[in-house]
Amino acid sequence: MGLPYSALDWAMLLSLRDLGARDEAALLEKIWAEERAFLVPDLEKSRRAFLLDVAYWSLYLREKPCIDREFPMIQRDAADCGASLREESFLSDFSDLDLYFKEARFRLRFFSDCGYVRIKLRTLLKQYGYRRRSAKLLEHLEQCMAFYHLQPYLRGGIPCQLSAISVDEMVVFRLKGQAFEG
């Protein structure tokens, strides 16, 4: 996963919501209209390709538990035909640090009543398998926040840099340009 949203990203984000077909279709139309600049280049050119790719990945994610259960049989069948499959391609859970920021922007743009998302920095790092902040990791976090137009704050609306705060601090993310209230 890179910084722009892929069809898989949107399918994953939509799967986190319990939306009916009409609500999901309306949301995808809104995403197409308002978030197109954040799509991977091959999706931003064609509404049809965007909708079909998201539908494909949504179906895949719904069927993924069944595919995972059947994977050993699929491997045997492939071996019988002289082919092989990489297990991690089928069984990975697609965890990626970028996904947190993609999901944060998605929630703030389309589902947030309060206008912010918050998480302890330690929890964020732990969720994605990190124990400490390296310079490279901090650079990546800054790149994600800049791309998705997210501004980090401490409680009380104090702007902050993730490199300068304790990992036990609660970080509040808001869309840039959004006034801090509360």
Per-residue pLDDT of the chain (182 residues), as tens digits, is 468 999 999 999 999 888 899 999 999 999 999 999 999 999 999 999 999 999 999 998 888 777 777 777 877 888 888 877 665 555 444 346 788 899 999 999 998 888 999 999 999 888 888 888 888 889 989 999 999 999 999 988 999 999 999 999 999 999 998 766 65
What residue type is assigned to position 95 of the chain? S
Contact 97, 128 (CB under 8 A): yes
Residue with tokens 């139309």: 29
Query: Rounded to an integer, what is the distance from CA 137 to the centroid of its chain?
Result: 17
Give the pLDDT confidence score for residue 1 in this predicted structure. Answer: 47
Backbone dihedral angles phi then psi of residue 118, each to the nearest 5 degrees: -135, 150
Report d(CA 41, CA 105) in Å as an integer.
Answer: 19
Residue with tokens 């993924």: 64
What residue type is assigned to position 73 of the chain? M
Task: Give the Cβ contact number of residue 108 at 10 Å.
Answer: 20
Residue with tokens 């398998």: 129
Give the pLDDT confidence score for residue 92 in this predicted structure. Answer: 42
Kindly report the pTM of this predicted structure.
0.69
Strand, coil or helix: 4? coil
